[in-house]
């Protein structure tokens, strides 16, 4: 079985490379943006005709949430036209497309976990382009899994955990927002889940939510990062209003994972457990 991965230099791409040796019956083809530019249909066609993948995991995305507000065209190109090209080329090759989306498709106004049936209502450019990418895939190719996830971190790439550890080495005091509630997702857990979906051979296509279990604020997340790493620091909780950003964040974006757990018989670690087991 051939599984092609786009965006191989990102967090999820690196996490998939990290777990790939555990799945010897899968031939992974890892492509970064230089090898496979998803915004170029011709480039997609060339790579697909060379490797003839059974599955394509689209881990390529424009994820700079704030920057997207001033670069909407670039975000659109990568998050909408990219998935559109992949859906077209997957259809031509009868390749199953697994596309990673985000909790940012929701406005965060709920107080109960979001299900796959909740109506998306993004509040910024990033969320809107990710939603438009989902819609493009749904219109073009039925053999797809769209996985919405949240607060992704890992030992790879740039993420909240890495930022907190770096700041702790530079400062005595750190202020972190405590009124945005969500769930951290370990990228290696997400990578393993994607591969489990592939090897399950259950072709139950559609949209699924995935994150680790539980919920917390960014402040709680930071506190746990320092606790696990035995770092003593003055950590201050602050409201979102004290930390204005170009893009509005969802106030509450916990995802309900019942659907993915029941369909693929998954057990999901709590966010605290996964954080504890994350190497630095």
- Residues assigned a catalytic role: 126
DSSP bridge pairs for 206:
145
Rounded to an integer, what distance in angstroms lies between the CA atom of residue 86 and that of residue 237? 42
Inter-residue contact 99 to 134 (CB < 8 Å): yes
H or E element that contains 192: helix 187-200
- DSSP helix/strand/coil, 26: coil
Torsions phi, psi of 256, nearest 5?
Answer: -80, 125
Helix axes 41-51, 82-93, angle to 10 degrees: 40
Rounded to an integer, what distance in angstroms lies between the CA atom of residue 212 and that of residue 78? 26
Torsions phi, psi of 122, nearest 5?
Answer: -65, 150
Rounded to an integer, what distance in angstroms lies between the CA atom of residue 73 and that of residue 240? 27
């Amino acid at each position: 079985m051939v599984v092609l991965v786009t965006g191989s230099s990102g967090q999820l791409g690196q996490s998939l490379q990290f777990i790939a040796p555990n799945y010897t019956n899968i031939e992974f083809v890892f492509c970064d943006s230089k090898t496979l530019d998803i915004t170029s249909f011709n480039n997609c066609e060339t790579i697909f005709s060379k490797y003839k993948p059974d599955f394509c995991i689209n881990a390529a995305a424009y994820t700079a949430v704030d920057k997207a507000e001033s670069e909407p065209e670039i975000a659109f190109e990568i998050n909408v036209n990219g998935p559109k090209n992949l859906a077209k080329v997957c259809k031509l090759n009868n390749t199953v497309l697994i596309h990673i989306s985000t909790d940012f498709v929701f406005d965060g106004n709920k107080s109960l976990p979001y299900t796959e049936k909740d109506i998306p209502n993004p509040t910024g450019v990033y969320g809107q382009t990710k939603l438009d990418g989902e819609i493009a895939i749904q219109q073009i190719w039925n053999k797809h899994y769209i996985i919405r996830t949240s607060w992704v971190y890992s030992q790879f790439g740039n993420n909240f955990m890495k930022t907190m550890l770096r700041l702790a080495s530079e400062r005595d005091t750190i202020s972190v927002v405590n009124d945005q509630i969500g769930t951290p997702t370990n990228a290696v857990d997400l990578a393993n889940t994607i591969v489990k979906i592939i090897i399950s051979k259950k072709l139950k296509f559609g949209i699924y939510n995935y994150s680790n279990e539980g919920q917390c604020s960014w402040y709680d997340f930071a506190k746990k990062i320092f606790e696990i790493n035995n770092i003593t620091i003055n950590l201050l909780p602050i409201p979102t209003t004290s930390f204005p950003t170009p893009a509005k964040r969802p106030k509450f974006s916990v995802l309900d994972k019942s659907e993915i757990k029941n369909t693929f018989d998954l057990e999901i670690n709590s966010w605290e457990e996964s954080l504890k087991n994350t190497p630095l």
